[in-house]
């Protein structure tokens, strides 16, 4: 078989790229090791920047997000027993939407199926070949049979453990990484919202985050040892920890509920450069990872896809190679800005075991500054909604 663009990975990056290319008359095939049911049911949180929201709506896949997502015009920073609000819309004119990543995936899969798009689920033994030629190919097994797809370009959207990044010779790329000595303990629970907006809490016991999934389902996290086990945490112990970290001196409290999911996730920052090799281009988690504190993961993937879509359109419609040639340089400007913001948020909000009492007080001083200075709050808001200059 042959197509124009072969896409490895049916996450938000791969599916959105396939959808946008279709709208521009460019053919693609998407390959995924998991089943459709698995990718649509793997629960992952999602905070969508203004640009991500706009692109989904403009491309015709944003209706359910607008109907079911929670539009937020600000968020709260909790520290020292008080809550202070960052007015995103008042400071930037923009907002964010809380809409889970797997719901975005459902919308994109539905759009590709409706358009007759080529989605290959449950593939195995995927390998990339002849990437430094004009005729790269993807070999794989599907339904037990060996298959090969020839294409003009291969786009690796298969995450940090996929085959795409590893296909770039180690001598040609530089990997940068920061592994954090803490993780997030996450829960899903039944109950009413604890707040109308997200709450980011810094406490001497560690970080906590309160989010709303729906009117009856809430998502919460608190900082923990990444090597801990969910079996060590009873529901009563979890709620005691969240109350200690988030409740304010004026009587505002986290609303308890029945917990029906628990998990622990590690945290790291990672960037791989370059993001291209021959006819292979990386997008999303295949090239970069951010700690979730800054809510940048899916938004960075969408930003990569936007750049790639423009570059591929220019190649096919205008016979131009310049945008493809400069893809890494263009994408990495936004990536490093987002990496810095996420790192800054993480350092400011989490308990750092290697921090001296002096450095701990500096965290509080910085929170005081960003919540009382309009200039500092604007810088935070611009980065959070994704309109900061890069």
Reading the block at residue 94, the tokens are 């923009």
Task: Among 158-162, 179-183, 209-213, name the one with the lowest average pLDDT.
Answer: 209-213
User: Tokens 């539905």 belong to which residue?
Assistant: 110
Task: Among 50-59, 120-129, 206-215, 312-321, name the one with the lowest average pLDDT.
Answer: 206-215
What integer pLDDT is reported at residue 248 of this predicted model? Answer: 92
Task: Convert the chain into a string of H (helix), E (strand) and C (coil).
Answer: CECCEEEECCCHHHHHHHHHHHHCCCCEEEECCCCHHHHHHCCCCCEECHHHHHHHHHCCCCHHHHHHCEEECEEEEEECCEEEEEEHHHHHCCCEEECCHHHHHHHHHHHHHHCCCEEECCEEEEEEECCCCCCCEEEEEECCEEEEEECCEEEECCCCCCCCHHHCCHHHCEEEEEEEEEEEEEEEEECCCCCCCCEEEECCCCCEEEEECCCCEEEEEEEECCCCCHHHCCHHHHHHHHHHHHCCCCCCCCCCCEEEEEEEEEEEEEEEECCEECCEEECHHHCEECCHHHCCHHHHHHHHHHHHHHHHHHHHHHCCCHHHHCHHHHHHHHHHHHHHHHHHHHHHHCCCCCCCHHHHHHHHHHHHHHHHCHHHHHHHHHHHHCCCCC
Reading the block at residue 85, the tokens are 């609000």
User: Tokens 């959808």 belong to which residue?
Assistant: 19
Q: Exposed, middle or buried by CB within 10 Å (0-12, 13-18, 19+), for 8?
A: buried
What's the mean pLDDT when you consider all of the chain? 96
The total number of residues shown for the chain amounts to: 390
Q: Any idea which residues carry the catalytic annotation?
A: 72, 200, 292, 296, 384
- pLDDT band, very low/low/confident/very high, at 232 (cuts 50, 70, 90): very high
Say how many C-beta atoms besides its own lie within 10 A of residue 247's C-beta: 18
pLDDT in tens, 70-92: 999 999 999 999 999 999 999 99
Alpha-carbon dihedral of residues 357, 179, 170, 141, nearest 10 degrees?
-170
Pick the closest to residue 387 from 52, 143, 150 (CA basis): 52
Beta carbons of 44 and 102 less than 8 angstroms apart: yes
Chain centre to alpha carbon of residue 100 = 10
The pLDDT of 62-77, averaged and rounded, is 96
* pLDDT more than 70, % of the chain: 100
- pLDDT band, very low/low/confident/very high, at 164 (cuts 50, 70, 90): very high
* CA–CA distances in Å: residue 56 to residues 107, 182, 290: 10, 33, 22
CA distance 127 to 124: 9
Beta carbons of 6 and 28 less than 8 angstroms apart: yes
Beta carbons of 315 and 67 less than 8 angstroms apart: no
Pick the closest to residue 134 from 274, 324, 317, 307 (CA basis): 324
Beta carbons of 52 and 388 less than 8 angstroms apart: no
Q: Taking 80 as the threshold, does the pLDDT of residue 390 lie above it? A: no
What integer pLDDT is reported at residue 41 of this predicted model? Answer: 87
pTM exceeds cut of 0.85? yes
- pLDDT band, very low/low/confident/very high, at 213 (cuts 50, 70, 90): confident
Beta bridge partners of 219: 188, 211
Reading the block at residue 261, the tokens are 């999911």
Beta carbons of 106 and 37 less than 8 angstroms apart: no
What integer pLDDT is reported at residue 215 of this predicted model? Answer: 80
pLDDT in tens, 253-306: 999 999 999 999 999 999 999 999 999 999 999 999 999 999 999 999 999 999
User: Tokens 């990495």 belong to which residue?
Assistant: 332
- pLDDT band, very low/low/confident/very high, at 212 (cuts 50, 70, 90): confident
pLDDT in tens, 344-380: 999 999 999 889 999 999 999 999 999 999 999 999 9
pLDDT in tens, 107-118: 999 999 999 999
Reading the block at residue 123, the tokens are 């593939």
pLDDT in tens, 25-49: 999 999 999 999 999 988 787 899 9
Check whether the bond before 274 is cis (ω within 30° of 0). yes
What integer pLDDT is reported at residue 377 of this predicted model? Answer: 98
The full set of domains in the chain, from first to last, is 5-71+95-176+268-345 (3.50.50.60), 180-267+354-385 (3.30.9.10)
């Amino acid at each position: 078989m042959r197509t124009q663009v072969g896409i490895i990975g049916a996450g938000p990056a791969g599916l959105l790229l396939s959808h946008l290319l279709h709208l521009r008359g460019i053919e693609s095939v998407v390959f995924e090791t998991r089943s459709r049911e698995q990718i649509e049911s793997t629960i992952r949180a999602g905070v969508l920047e203004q640009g991500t929201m706009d692109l989904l709506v403009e491309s015709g896949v944003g209706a359910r997000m607008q109907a079911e997502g929670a539009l937020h015009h600000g968020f709260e920073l909790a520290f020292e027993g008080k809550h202070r609000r960052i007015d995103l819309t008042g400071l930037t004119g923009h907002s964010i939407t809380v809409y889970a990543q797997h719901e975005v995936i459902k919308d994109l899969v539905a759009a590709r199926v409706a358009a007759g798009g080529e989605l290959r689920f449950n593939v195995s033994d995927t390998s990339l070949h002849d990437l430094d030629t004009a005729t790269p190919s993807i070999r794989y097994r599907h339904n037990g049979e060996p298959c090969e797809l020839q294409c003009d370009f291969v786009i690796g959207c298969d995450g940090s453990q996929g085959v795409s990044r590893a296909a770039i010779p180690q001598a040609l790329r530089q990997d940068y990484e920061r592994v954090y000595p803490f993780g997030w303990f996450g829960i899903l629970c039944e109950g009413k919202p604890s707040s109308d907006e997200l709450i980011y809490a810094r406490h001497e016991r560690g970080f906590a985050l309160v989010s709303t999934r729906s009117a009856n389902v809430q998502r919460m996290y608190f900082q923990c040892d990444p090597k801990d086990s969910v079996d060590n945490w009873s529901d009563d112990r979890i709620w005691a920890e969240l109350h200690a970290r988030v409740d304010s001196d004026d009587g505002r409290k986290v609303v308890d509920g029945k917990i029906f999911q628990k998990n622990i996730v590690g945290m790291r920052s990672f960037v791989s450069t370059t993001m291209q090799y021959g006819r292979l281009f990386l997008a999303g988690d295949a090239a970069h990872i951010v700690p979730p504190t800054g809510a940048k993961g899916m938004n960075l993937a969408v930003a990569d896809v936007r750049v790639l879509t423009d570059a591929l359109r220019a190649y096919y419609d205008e016979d131009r190679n310049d945008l493809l040639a400069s893809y890494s340089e263009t994408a990495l400007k936004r990536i490093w800005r987002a990496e810095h913001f996420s790192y800054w948020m993480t350092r400011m909000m989490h308990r750092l075991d290697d921090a001296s009492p002096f450095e701990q007080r500096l965290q509080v001083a910085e929170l005081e500054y960003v919540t009382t200075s309009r200039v500092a709050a604007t810088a935070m808001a611009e980065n959070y909604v994704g309109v900061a200059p890069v």
